[in-house]
Amino acid sequence: MRSIHSVTNTVQTLHVMYSDSSCECTMLPTPFLSLPSQKTEDVYGAYSAHLIVSNGSIGHRIQALENAVPNIGAKLQDLLDQVGWKLHVFVGDAAKTNSAIFKIQKRHQLAVGAKRKLSIQIKCLLHQICLVRRPSILAIDAYWSTVVRLAHLFENWSFKRQFGISLLHILRQPGIAVSEFPDEMSNWKLRADWLVKGFFPTAKGAIDLLKSLLQLLNGNSMEPVFTHWCLPGCCGSQQESLQKVAEVAIPLFSRGFQCPLLYRFKHYTVASSYLRTACCCFDLLPQVLTQLNAVASEQDSKLVDGLLQDSGVPVENTELGDLLDNDLSFSLQNSVRRRKVVEQVTKTEFPQSVIMVDVIVNALEYGSNALFKRTSLLTRMSTLGSHHPEYATLANECMERFLDITSGSFGKRLIERTVVLLDVGLQEMIDLGGFSPTPERLVLFFRLIVSCMSDLWRRMIFEFSRYPWKWFDLLAQDLSLQEFVEKFDQEVRVRRPVESSEEKNLRIQKAAHRTVRALSGWNIFQRENSQHMQMGTAEYKSHVKNLSAQWRSLSSDDKAPWNIQARHEQMCREELVDTPLPVKGEGMSELDLAVGRKGRSKLSGRRLQVNTELYNQHFLWSTPTQLGDGLLAVRRTKTVGHSPWTMGPTILTTRPIR
């Protein structure tokens, strides 16, 4: 039986706006698909096949296209021949397999000699942002595994119930009856606002519960003591204070959070904000986890059960819960999870790690929210339909957001929000969050910020600074259709097709290993007697013939100066061949000037290899980056050209960039 490597069952909506401002919505189903293997070639084959079969009512669509073009036969190829440009749009997430499939498609186009065809790969930016935040999450030892284990524990009703009982146990702290609030109350209020600002729950009313809790527990939330500063007339007794706090805290924190996904946006922000709030709010989470084995009275158990049920927390099936609790393997697995979670969360550095990771994730959350806003606009367009009066307005707003992304402005704003964490963000973490890092932790924080900045630049700016994305700059100029076509054609004429990466590598290798004959006195004699002369082919041959006769007529003594000059330049060449090519902004050395322009040209292939070796050996690339390997970043920077016909990069390496 074949294993399933790829399963999809979704329907995508394609919005098309024509030059006459008319709009159309098309539903594109992507049905269930089972592949024989997960090899790129098999995935590409299935993708190519479903370009045709997954588009519903393909026969009616072809017939409609044929009817739209007068005097055309029934053959689809005849119809396609009438089209000036053909577009290939590949949409998917940022997985390496998708990029590999797109490269196979481009190579196929080059092999069959496809002309006037534009190809573009669109990667999901939400997935890109998830990949940017990934190094920050995994940089802390055992942090991610602890988050996932705690989420799995919260999936069980028995754990939620025990969590609530433990929370009730530690809430039994004596309140403080006062006649007026202390002077520090204003600072405590600022920290309470900071906690609410960074809380992003999924449950309705959870933010209001947190606000109510911080109004009741109005003491210093940096200290691990739950304190309610109570003015006269606020609470009648200690038990009433406890009842008020329990009614808010238990439904808020015992609910927990859903298991987050590392490579997807789903649930992670919720999990991160829960940990931040639970750790920074009176050190609640570490205290509760250390008291999980506390024995509860029947009255406390009923109170916790009632509060959880009243707050809408789903009650687990009793028979199923008993079955799972009595199952040896399940109980053993849960006990191991609990032990490892308690071991990590109760460490003094864990809350510090939570604050550091959460502030980086929140900076990137701006990007996710902006992208979801555009998704909501597209959803509204699908709901209203292309004939609705608001459709054109929504389409224009979506296009403006799209151009904001392709211009790199969106990526620059994300980088700015990340950079500010090194200044204002860090100061806020220290003043309000209680962040007291060690020098080593500060270095790690700086490296994570640099990692996010560089990865955002690569995915959100560099990616869109190349063709074919640069074509969208024409749309931002508000051109008429005729002006757009003229600029497009002008750009195509300026940019001629470039060779493939394999062809460029072969040419460079040949240049590096070409045989360069040693200079002789005759070469110098010919060069010096041919300077500043412009001659045709026949005239040049006659000129060289005359020079050859003159050279042969010279005596050994007369040839000596020319031979000495040749040996000197040959020595300069042999010394120059081991030196790197000068980079932009550097002047030429004495050796460069000595060998001349033609001499430098003959040695440039070998010298380029010296540049590449020094570049690869630079200490910067030995430092792990957001790509996981510094040399990947080296290869990524070797993009030197793009073809408007295939719309793909030409890379100075034989190994495809993943």
Q: Give me the pLDDT at residue 76, please.
A: 55
Q: Give me the pLDDT at residue 204, please.
A: 81
Sign of the four-CA dihedral 253, 258, 263, 269: negative
Q: Which residue has the tokens 């290899």?
A: 609
DSSP structure class, residue 587: P
> What tokens does 51 get?
């370009």
Task: Report how far apart, in Å, the C-alpha atoms of 501 and of each of 36, 100, 498, 640, 645 are.
Answer: 31, 15, 9, 10, 15
Sign of the four-CA dihedral 301, 306, 312, 317: positive
Q: Give me the pLDDT at residue 9, please.
A: 45
Q: How far apart are CA 655 and CA 658, in angstroms?
A: 9
Q: How far apart are CA 102 and CA 255, in angstroms?
A: 44
Helix axes 501-512, 590-616, angle to 10 degrees: 130
142 phi-psi bin (left φ>0, alpha ψ -120 to 50, beta other): left
- Residue pair 460/453 in contact (Cβ under 8 Å)? The answer is no
Q: How far apart are CA 107 and CA 166, in angstroms?
A: 62
* pLDDT one-digit tens code per residue, 274-329: 999 999 999 999 999 998 887 778 888 888 888 888 777 666 554 445 544 555 56
Q: Give me the pLDDT at residue 150, please.
A: 93
Task: Give every residue of the chain whose pLDDT is below 50, as ranges.
Answer: 1-9, 52-56, 72-74, 318-320, 323-324, 625-634, 636-658
Task: Give how far the C-alpha of residue 319 lies from the chain's centroid of Cα atoms, to the nearest Å.
Answer: 45
Q: Give me the pLDDT at residue 405, please.
A: 92
The one-letter amino acid at 520: S
- Residue pair 383/462 in contact (Cβ under 8 Å)? The answer is no
Q: How far apart are CA 320 and CA 278, in angstroms?
A: 29
Sign of the four-CA dihedral 97, 103, 105, 107: negative
- What predicted TM-score, i.e. pTM, was given to this entire model? 0.68
Task: Give how far the C-alpha of residue 464 lies from the chain's centroid of Cα atoms, to the nearest Å.
Answer: 13
Helix axes 157-171, 238-253, angle to 10 degrees: 150
| Residues 527-565 as b or e (16 or more Cβ within 10 Å = b) | beeeeeeeeeeeeeeeeeeebeeebeeeeeeebeebbeb
Q: Give me the pLDDT at residue 649, please.
A: 33
Cβ contacts of residue 349 below 8 Å, gap of 6+? 441
Query: Max alpha carbon distance in the chain (Å)?
Result: 124
- Residue pair 633/625 in contact (Cβ under 8 Å)? The answer is yes
**Do the bridges between strand 176-177 and strand 229-230 make them parallel or antiparallel, or are there none, so unpaired?**
parallel
Strands (E), 196-349: 229-230
Cβ contacts of residue 519 below 8 Å, gap of 6+? 566, 567, 569, 570, 573
